[in-house]
Amino acid sequence: MRKSHGIRGTLLCLLLYSLIFGAHAESRFDGDYVRLTKICWSSSEASLGYECGDPQEEGVAIKHIRGSLFYININTIGGNAHRCWYKGIGTMKNRIIETRSSTDDCGARIKINGNRAELSQLGRCYGYCGARASLGASKLKKKSHVKKRIQK
């Protein structure tokens, strides 16, 4: 007859399982969450007072490091085609990644829901953004990357 180890044995098994398989659990959040944004700028030569170029991608790239830590790379577009660029390490809790700069009052919050994400700015990010631009973006959708097969 096999001896039962009770609750401690069960907890030990769960702990070992999470240590072995847990490091990959959050990798499902890895990817590029983007949207196409129309780029427009003021123009005295245009009949409407502004001109627009081809839409460009803006959003955030997320890469799991370990545990609750993620590398993030944000690129957003604001008025008159001014941009924000921000890179950092964020911590995830309840599908929300937050990051803050160690040198000034700038950060970002990324809320992930399935294959969608929302970006919001935390603090003042003057050193990262051009005029009328912010680290905010809504309705971002995760890009699907097709893996190519290696042919022999």
Query: How does pLDDT run across 83-120, given as a tens digit for each residue?
Result: 999 999 999 999 999 999 888 889 999 999 999 999 99
Taking Cα atoms as reference points, which of 84, 92, 82, 83 lies closest to residue 30? 92
Burial 64-88 (b: 16+ CB within 10 A, else e): beeeeebebebbbbbeebeebebeb
Mean pLDDT of 25-31: 77
CA distance 70 to 112: 13
Question: What's the confidence (pLDDT) of residue 145?
Answer: 63
In the prediction, which pLDDT does 71 show? 96
Q: Is residue 119 part of a domain?
A: yes
What's residue 147's pLDDT?
A: 55
Predicted TM-score of the model (pTM): 0.73
Name the percent of the chain lying above pLDDT 90: 53
Number of domains in the chain: 1
Tell me, yes or no, whether 83 lies in a domain: yes
| Structural domain containing residue 98 | 26-142
Q: How far apart are CA 54 and CA 60, in angstroms?
A: 20
Instruction: Let me know if residue 11 belongs to a domain.
Output: no
